[in-house]
Amino acid sequence: MNVSAIIMAAGSGSRFGEKKQFKLLGGTALYFYSLNKFLHCEDINEVILVVPENRVADIKKEIANIKITKKILVVSGGLRRQDSVKNGMLSVSNKSQLVCIHDGARPFVSEKLIKQSIIACSNNDGAIVANPNFDTLKTCKKGYVKKTLDRNNVWMAQTPQVFWKIKLLDAIAISEKKNMEVTDESSMMESLGYKVSVVRGDYNNFKITSREDWERAANIIA
């Protein structure tokens, strides 16, 4: 099975206050933790790193000295996540059958989780990593609670998310025609009726979104 990994590191950092993917965590750029994990995973054949257009040249220089035979490509992202994913997909090798998409702001993904998600996808249209939710969830509007959701059916999605390349390309094309706005790739697949399986995630595989998340990550690697 030929598998390409796409590392998403093109975000604007609006919620964090800066482009956190390039901020140093323990002396290493945040995105590099994810990049390094996929480069050393034997199930991954190539890695495509998606970054802001104005950082492509700099990042190419940064990774030029990585001593590994695995193919690494650096491509520019788009305005939205789905645009960045599309740009990454357009650079995927013709040999690849599966595509494994991961957030560059999730530095603690394990090789075990990568392997499990690839295996799960091989028997389905796609597979995502997620954790069950244990908190009580409410929908709120204008400062008031409107509804309590059944938490037994709610899972918190993470990455990696793995899909058959040809099916994800189909989902991207249709979502563009329908002007869909999505926050992850699974949403596109789900909307077309594709079956996406769930792999139990890891609570340490969190996404760094806030300053509190950054402090948590810094404490883990300290």
- Out of 3.40.50.1450, 3.40.50.1360, 3.90.550.10, 3.40.50.170, the CATH code matching 3-129+156-221 is 3.90.550.10
Q: In angstroms, rounded to a whole number, what is the distance separating the alpha carbons of residues 148 and 63?
A: 47
pLDDT of residue 67: 85
Task: Quickly state the pLDDT bin for 172 (edges 50, 70, 90).
Answer: very high
Once rounded to an integer, what is the mean pLDDT over residues 26-45?
96
Q: Percent of the chain having pLDDT more than 90?
A: 89
- Which range among 8-17, 29-38, 40-49, 128-137 shows the weakest confidence by mean pLDDT? 8-17
| pLDDT band (50, 70, 90) for residue 12 | confident
- pLDDT at position 199: 97
Rounded Cα–Cα distance for residues 156 and 159 (Å): 10
**Cα 53 to the chain's mean position, in Å?**
18
pLDDT at 13: 77
Q: How many CA atoms lie within 13 A of 19 on its CB side?
A: 13
**Predicted local confidence at residue 17, as pLDDT:** 78
What is the arithmetic mean of pLDDT over 87-102?
97
Q: Is it the case that residue 184 has pLDDT exceeding 90?
A: yes
Per-residue confidence (pLDDT) for residue 3, from 0 to 100: 98
In a 13 Å sphere around the CA of 86, the CA atoms on its Cβ side amount to 15
What is the C-alpha to C-alpha distance for residues 126 and 65, in angstroms, rounded to an integer? Answer: 34
95 pLDDT more than 80: yes
Domain ranges (residues) in the chain: 3-129+156-221
pLDDT at 29: 96
Distance in Å from the first CA to the final CA of the chain: 37
pLDDT band for 222, please (50, 70, 90 cuts).
confident
- Would you place residue 11 in the very low, low, confident or very high pLDDT band (cuts 50, 70, 90)? confident
Per residue in 125-165, pLDDT (tens digit) is: 999 999 999 999 999 999 999 999 999 889 999 999 999 99
Report the chain's mean pLDDT, rounded to a whole number.
94
Instruction: Please compute the mean of the pLDDT values over residues 89-102 and round it to a whole number.
Output: 97
SS3 content of the chain, % helix, strand, coil (to 5): 35, 25, 40
Q: What was the pLDDT predicted at 109?
A: 98
Decide if pLDDT at 18 tops 90.
Answer: no
Q: Higher-confidence residue: 222 or 163? A: 163
